[in-house]
Amino acid sequence: MPASPYSQSHTMGLPILRQCALTSSRRTLKVPSPVFLDFLAPSAIGHKQCRNASTATGGEPKPRYVLSKEQREFMDSALRVNQAGELAATLIYTAQTPQIVRSYPHLRPLMKHMYDQEAGHLKTFNGLIQKHQIRPTAMYPAWEVAATFLGWSTAALGREAAMACTEAVETEIGSHYNDQVREILSWEADAARRGEELDDELKEMLATFRRIRDEELEHLDHAVANDSKEAKPYDPLVDVIRFGCRAAIKISEKI
Ligand SMILES: [Fe+2]
Ligand SMILES: [Fe+2]
């Protein structure tokens, strides 16, 4: 009898993703400044500018938009929070799935699909955190316990409560990604006003945030389609989870 509702690749995948994040954590905790993002730092601009600058308009390369300290701090916090959030998402689905598919086997493909996407998101942010030497949240172990408990307890309450958990989490996470997308778009507009352009990697990150936001909102739609609104008691459950998500985001931005 399998220990998990997922295929073997899933049962092996999550520990590997977590190991990657923790290895990254050990490595990055030695970095003295939490706001140094190599590709965004002014010191990295000069020698890369010509190679990366666009030649789309009349062959004239546009100067690179240099992020301020506050903007680099924003990216630092954003990537730290996103990694923590995606870890939590994989753990919620891992804890929910055995109970849900036992009673509702037809939901196995949906739970697997959502887990697969979350594992992909976590892998993306593990890679970015490691690449840009960002300090992962010190709350990582606490979020692991909290997310597993949240997944297990909502699934114990039933399918509707499990789906209400997804609805609540994705509402907060979707809007969180939206805030990040909006912020980077405001930098892009600022760059355009100055006749500059964003670093290619920042543009790529913007596209990644948009794709992941859309996938989170797809999960929200799946939850509503699977009776999240029928959870009892719906309002207190969703309110508490949404409050918890907002608190975890705020804490992970700083700690
Ligand atoms: Fe996700
Ligand atoms: Fe999600």
Q: What percent of the chain has pLDDT over 90?
A: 40
- Greater pLDDT, 20 or 96: 96
> Can you give the residue ranges of every domain in the chain?
8-254
Establish whether 222 is an annotated binding residue: no
The pLDDT-based confidence of 68 (bands split at 50, 70, 90) is confident
Which is more confidently placed, 60 or 153? 153
The pLDDT-based confidence of 109 (bands split at 50, 70, 90) is very high
The larger pLDDT score, comparing residue 230 to residue 99, is at: 99
- pLDDT average, residue stretch 168-194: 91
Instruction: Measure 85 CA to ligand 2 centroid, in angstroms.
Output: 9
**Residue whose C-alpha is closest to residue 5's, from 117, 146, 105:** 105
Top-confidence residue, 16 or 118: 118
121 assigned to a ligand binding site: yes
Q: Considering only CA atoms, which of 99, 101, 85, 121 is closest in space to residue 211?
A: 121
Q: How far apart are CA 170 and CA 218, in angstroms?
A: 9
Rounded to the nearest angstrom, the distance between the alpha carbon of 49 and the centre of ligand 2 is 36
* pLDDT tops 90 at residue 49: no
Average pLDDT over residues 147-154: 92
**How far apart are the CA of 30 and the centre of ligand 1, in A?**
28
Average pLDDT, rounded, for the chain:
79
Which class would CATH give 8-254?
mainly alpha
47 appears as a binding residue in the annotation: no
